[in-house]
Amino acid sequence: MQYIRNAFEIVLMLIALVIICFFLAYAWPDAKYGLAAWVQAVGSITAILGAFTIARMQTQREREAQQERRNDLRANRILLAVMHGLHVRKILNEFEVALSKKTMLNGAFEYQEHRLAIALRGLESISFEDLHEGDAHCIARTVIMVSDLYSGMISKTGAHTKESLRETVNKFNTAIINEMAILARTYEAVTGRPPVP
């Protein structure tokens, strides 16, 4: 849209220059003394305005490209957080299935702890640079939740019943779903497409 507006401004300036030149060429009372000077003055002013317009267009394009790069970077970081959050949800769902079966609880804990530690490291590695404050808070809350869940899993090994563990897993799963929904809406607002198919 801005490009069309800039092109329209240039066309209008050229039309104005042509009209002024025709006016000066046919309506000037004494062509011998002042016409050439006036044509030169109008041409100089037009050249200055043209240079200003071109510089403004280039600056605008650079700003738009920089904003697009920031949006892409922001979208990639949000997508990374969403993917790690979905990975945590998958771990929690699998852990919940393991809790409902007659599997050995410590083996399930060790396996899920290891996977959760990897997901936590991935979430912690996301840089908050160029993220909006709300995005950063959402990712930080997710990191804190996963960290709390991870520490809670380590401290609850063998100490609590399956039911209390299931409640804890459900609580964190719901909270992570909410944070991922917020990030997914933000990603969709930034890119115009959903984060996962």
Instruction: Report the pLDDT value the prediction gives residue 66, as an integer from 0 to 100.
Output: 93
Pick the CATH number of 71-191 from 3.40.30, 2.40.50, 1.20.120, 1.20.58: 1.20.120
Task: Give residue-wise pLDDT tens across range 137-155.
Answer: 888 888 888 888 777 766 6
Domain ranges of the chain: 2-64, 71-191
Q: Which residues contact 35 (CB under 8 A, 6 or more apart)?
A: 24, 25, 28
Instruction: Report the pLDDT value the prediction gives residue 132, as an integer from 0 to 100.
Output: 85
Instruction: Report the pLDDT value the prediction gives residue 112, as an integer from 0 to 100.
Output: 74
Instruction: Report the pLDDT value the prediction gives residue 2, as an integer from 0 to 100.
Output: 67
Instruction: Report the pLDDT value the prediction gives residue 86, as an integer from 0 to 100.
Output: 83
Instruction: Report the pLDDT value the prediction gives residue 59, as an integer from 0 to 100.
Output: 92
Task: Give residue-wise pLDDT tens across range 60-78.
Answer: 899 999 999 988 888 888 8
Q: Is residue 42 within 8 Å of residue 24, measured between CB atoms?
A: yes
Task: Characterize 15-40 residue by residue with b for buried, 16 or more Cβ atoms within 10 angstroms of its Cβ, and e for exposed.
Answer: eebeebbeebeeeeeeeeeebeeebe
* Residue 157 structure tokens: 């090994």
Give dist(CA 81, CA 180) in Å, integer. Answer: 8
Q: Which residues of the chain have pLDDT under 50?
A: none
Q: Is residue 35 within 8 Å of residue 24, measured between CB atoms?
A: yes
Instruction: Report the pLDDT value the prediction gives residue 155, as an integer from 0 to 100.
Output: 62
Residue with tokens 């990191």: 143
